[in-house]
Homo-oligomer: A and B are copies of this chain.
């Protein structure tokens, strides 16, 4: 039950099948099974999920709104290829909002939430020690889930959705510009942040968060890739 065309769980909140396709593609992008720049033709997507082009199109347009795919008029949809400038904006936005989310989350956090976060951390750590693509992908997802869970705890659905977008796009940026083979997030830093929240040291938690984001960003090599589609693209 790990194939692309599964995900048949009839989530009641899902308004339509397009949501499922959207989620499946987003997951594939976030987990870096789909590389930036990959063309996502409506027909191909439709065939892949055994639905009509209509639904495929709807899913792609939704993803376009999230900034995960870029649709060019009469040319098609592609997995987003964030420019270095966009990458900077994404992390700038994260620096701007994550401390605020952290503060709100800390104000409403319950012991259960903390337990949940630690659970996530444990899982993340376990995946880090494992080998293989599958574990690596799960780790990427778990790493983002930490930030997402924090947003969920904040109780603000709007900020939560915004963070979902930022985390997803961050994954794209890291896929494009990340240098170290290590995953997206320093694992220990997550734990430090939880600890700081737990003892109500808000300012320190925010500092740690900013450090954490800076740490991720420092691993990037934000230089213009000359689109490399001339001939190098075929030498892999």
Provide the residues of chain B in CB contact with A65, threshold 8 Å: 62, 65
Name which of A95-103, A109-117, A131-139 contacts chain B.
A95-103
A47 is an interface residue with CB less than 8 A from chain B: no
Mask, A29-53, CB within 8 Å of B = 1, is 0000000000000000000000000
With A15-B71, A16-B73, A71-B15 already in contact, the answer to whether A93 and B62 are too (CB < 8 A) is no
> How far apart are the CA atoms of A158 and B96 in the complex, in Å?
11
A12, closest chain B residue (CB): B73
Interface string of A67-91 (1 = CB under 8 A from B): 1000111000000000000100110
Q: Whole-angstrom distance between the alpha carbons of A118 and B61 in the complex? A: 37
Contact between A93 and B15 (Cβ–Cβ < 8 Å)? no
Report the separation of the CA atoms of residues A54 and B62 in the bound assembly, to the nearest whole angstrom: 15
Contact residues, A154-207 vs B (CB, 8 A):
155-159, 162, 166
Report yes or no: B93 in contact with A156, Cβ–Cβ below 8 A. yes
Is the Cβ of B90 less than 8 Å from the Cβ of A158? yes
Q: In the assembly, what is the distance between CA of A71 and CA of B62, in Å?
A: 14
Q: How far is the CA of A86 from the CA of B159 in the complex (A)?
A: 11
Asked whether any CB of chain B lies closer than 8 Å to the CB of A58, the reply is yes
Check B157 against A89 for contact (C-beta < 8 Å).
yes
Complexed CA–CA distance, A162 and B15 (Å): 24
In the assembly, what is the distance between CA of A72 and CA of B14, in Å?
A: 10
Residue of B nearest to A88 (CB): B156
Q: Do the beta carbons of B58 and A159 come within 8 Å of each other?
A: no
With CB as the reference atom, state the residue of chain B lying closest to A18.
Answer: B61
A119 in the interface (beta carbon within 8 A): no
Smallest CB separation, A201 vs chain B (Å): 20
Contacts of A219 in B (CB 8 A): none
Question: How many Å from the CB of A204 to the closest CB on chain B?
Answer: 19
Find the residue from A73, A90, A92, A93 having the highest chain B CB count within 10 A: A93
B residues less than 8 Å from A96 (CB atoms): 97, 100-101, 104, 156, 159
Q: Inside 8 A of A61's CB, which chain B residues have their CB?
A: 58, 61-62
Question: 6 interchain pairs (CB within 8 A)?
Answer: A15-B71, A58-B61, A89-B155, A89-B156, A89-B157, A93-B158
